[in-house]
Structure 1
């Protein structure tokens, strides 16, 4: 049975919304320029509302949790990009005389999703890591090993597929919540989610810089706080 309209648990959703609000507050002048109501007071009130729900309903200190999570996600993001680039460079060099095979391998491992791995967004990085881990079959791994690409190098990239999602705090922390959320709180969460999602959609259309708009997307925020989509399982409160 569907319990809510948003992706992730209630706690994950609230942490993602808070991150979006913080990003908006950090560029409040740009936000006000496109919509007068998006001023400092608006975003501070939004953050206070989210903090209040997290503390009172879920006993979570969001400022500490998000600070720790964001720092570690950013550090691991750079390591993962570096590991992917190392593999891509080796494939390009080792199969330089076999362009068809080279391109097939790069595509299969998700190493052609973006032109420059170093500039990949977090969502794009997750897609690459997932594709790499899923498609690095024993046969392909042997093929790469035969030309001198170290197994440890390949295994390191695969390890990031899981590690990237489980940073800072145990996953159970993000699953914390009352088993029975009152109807009033459930409705309040839906209203809050709708408000921020609409803000995100409007910002995407109105902000001239798309990199700024990307900082306000729900999917990006979910990835930053460590959300991992589990196929075949329904999200819980």
Structure 2
């Protein structure tokens, strides 16, 4: 139990977005996440405080009636979304039969042509074609068939009759490698992304790296090395 909890913390540390406070340049601040430059400091803003439509984005914020609002999944809010927006917001799915965006609370209650989008908890709805049903995907291990696992490549790999999360060194092509936020293609192989080695701002993006004052840095730096090392040590002790 304790090992599971610590692993979850480690995953959150590795996958956590950069803190807005890491950005000191106004343009870099504006380009990242929900950050805005206020009184000389880069800070994360609530949706209602964001005055720009381009910063008011999924999955947290929705631009409506010329203002930015916190998105809450409901019939009234999901139905206002355009088809290309629908599955970007948690709690909505697109109904291809009735051609409209609907609220989603339970994957198992959706028909095959409705099995898309995410639940309010962020988990995706995945088609199980062999059992003709829609299934909630909590992680790669929750996918019960090879077909379902392959549908989530490169994030999941099917090995030894089970589905598991993939690592960078298991990816063999540059396109798939580039899809994985924590990976980069280098010397004809897929490796864990080294943010400091990235020279161009357009390549330094996502949750793993941040770009500020012409330099790419690792988001994991915001968490303190001693804290991170301590968690790893505790994992091996327990």
Q: How would you bin the TM-score normalised by the shorter chain?
A: under 0.3
**Structure 1 length-normalised TM:** 0.25
Higher percent of residues as helix:
1
Question: Higher relative contact order by CA 8 Å / sep ≥ 6: 1 or 2?
Answer: 1
Q: TM-score, length-normalised on structure 2?
A: 0.24
More strand by share: 2
